[in-house]
A and B are shown apart, each in its own frame.
Chain A
Amino acid sequence: MHLLIIDSFYIWEKLILVVFIVTLCMLVAMYATYGERKVAAFLQDRIGPNRAGPFGIFQPLADGGKLFFKEEIIPLASSRTLFVIGPMLAMTTALLTSAVIPWGPALHIKNRNVPFQIADINIGILYIFGVVSLGVYGIMIGGWASNNKFSLLAAIRGASQMISYELAMGLALIALLMLTGSLQMSDIVDHQVHGRWGGFLSWHIVRQPLGFLIFFICALAECNRTPFDLAEAENELNFGYHQEYSSMKLGFYLFAEYINMFISGVVMSTLFLGGYDIPFVNEASWHIDPNWLAVIGFCVLLAKAFFFVFVFMWIRWTVPRFRYDQLMNLGWKKLIPLALLNMIVTAVVVLWMRK
């Protein structure tokens, strides 16, 4: 019996998957910046970037090129090592989350079942939580190492905000975990795909609307998106924790934000919108190549995630920033009690159904 089956094919398959998903995240983040500008423009009766290429689709390349050629400034009074580590950490943690997400149904290559997931670990959600809470270090270290009082204020704000909202987020998820009885991401998706009620009725958003709402609000806060962008707050803190950053280090921070946004969209789709599930159809009855099925499922997941990204942007250009005390009140006095209530009600219902 083999405890650990690792052959060269396995390593290659994982390596290709990792490269594919990291590239995908980067690409999506690149075009999310373009999307953000376009969405902002359209919501404000403008047209947005349209000069670089048709419809301005080369705008992200121009922006990236500009960031690369900017002068790299490390302030003399900053602590050099931490100053460099900050953006690296932000980027790494943003990308790490993508590892446990099931991106689609399993592929079949040369009679092998290749799961469309980098690591199907049995504590998938815990892993996501762990990595997401590491993300706050990117902001904290960056803000602290800059040796600038605005950056420091932003870092403190960011840290306290993330910690408060993670609690409500976790509590909202516990209710969901009671339904699935598993922390494994692939199990959670299966639970929704092969649900009892069919269609999209077995998606968790139907059974956990309150949990979804709380999770969504907390995801906004975790991504530092408006109305919870207190760590950036360009009009109060001069862009907060990345004020002293320039060139590609700044680019990394901005990129990490968009990757976070995309990943949280994917996580929400996976947890609440049935992941790669296509509603109202039974894919198994189509009798087509499972690889094509995987591609279709992957596209469906992307579509759901992009929808969330769009909603994030839509909210950003609608709602003004919360004041700090409002933010804390909302987190501690409203979302956490609501999440607890949701958890208890779910627990009672689950127990009652089982009886």
Chain B
Amino acid sequence: MQLTQRAKQVDRRPMNGWEKSYLPAILKGMGITISHFFKKKATIQYPEQKRTFSKVFRGVQILNRDEEGRERCTACGLCAVACPAEAITMEAAERQPGEEHLYREEKYAAKYEINMLRCIFCGYCEEACPKDAIYLSQTFAQANYDRKGFIYKKEDLLIPNPKEDPEAYRRAVGERPVK
């Protein structure tokens, strides 16, 4: 019974004298390697060139703002509950009068931290969020000199304000369609 079309019958006959000299097999192998010599290389020169990611790429999280530059997060904690790696912690605070231009709802996250050493970039936080406040960007390959630096604070995670710095905001949004 043949399970696949690609199965090849192996020739198990003992080698003849010419084959025993290894030369035909070696020459064949050299033919294969030299054909690769002239092939187009798949290398991407990383820091200068970057590969384009798919629209659903899951990189570092970003905390979203609305069109007026107000933080969307209400510190409901659903992302922290959804997180299988338990990487997210937050502290809520109440919006004071006069802070309406900063926070969209009456409750906001005073402290919001993601431990990037724990995060597995599964994207469950993005799915859990009822306010579209957190999503995974196309940024990746973070680097730091100590472990402490990998605990990203709210300042590290917040997207640039679209009113104050539209250029940086556009870059942070990237190719991803903003909901």
Contact = CB atoms under 8 A, between A and B. Distances in A.
What 4 pairs across the A-B complex have the smallest Cβ distances?
A318-B33, A43-B33, A318-B29, A47-B43
21 contacts: A39-B37, A43-B33, A43-B34, A43-B37, A44-B36, A45-B36, A45-B39, A45-B42, A46-B41, A46-B43, A47-B41, A47-B43, A314-B30, A314-B33, A314-B34, A318-B26, A318-B29, A318-B30, A318-B33, A319-B29, A319-B30
Contacts of A319: 26, 29-30
Interface in B32-90: 32-34, 36-37, 39, 41-43, 45
Interface in A34-54: 39, 42-47, 50
Interface in A104-121: none
Interface string A126-140: 000000000000000
A49 to B, nearest CB: 12
A303 B30 CA distance: 21
Given A46-B43, A319-B29, 4 more contacts: A42-B37, A43-B37, A45-B39, A314-B30
Contacts of B34: 43, 314
Q: How big is chain B's contact interface, by range?
A: 10 to 19
Interface in A168-226: none
B50 to A, nearest CB: 16
Contacts of A334: 21
A45 B41 contact: yes
Contacts of B42: 45
A159 to B, nearest CB: 24
A56 to B, nearest CB: 12
Interface residues of A, number: 15
A108 B50 CA distance: 58
Nearest to A335: B21
Contacts of A318: 26, 29-30, 32-33
A24 interface: no
Interface string A6-29: 000000000000000000000000
A43 B37 CA distance: 5
A315 interface: yes
Contacts of B21: 334
A27 B2 CA distance: 58
Interface string B2-34: 000000000000000000011000100110111
Contacts of B32: 318
Contact of A315 (B30, B36, B39, B43): B30
B145 to A, nearest CB: 23
A334 B19 CA distance: 13
B51 to A, nearest CB: 15
A4 to B, nearest CB: 49
A330 B20 CA distance: 10
A288 to B, nearest CB: 36
Most buried by B among A45, A314, A330: A45
A58 interface: no
Contacts of B30: 314-315, 318-319
Interface string A67-103: 0000000000000000000000000000000000000
Contacts of A50: 45
A317 interface: yes
A50 B32 CA distance: 25
B18 to A, nearest CB: 12
Interface in B146-166: none
Interface in B102-159: none
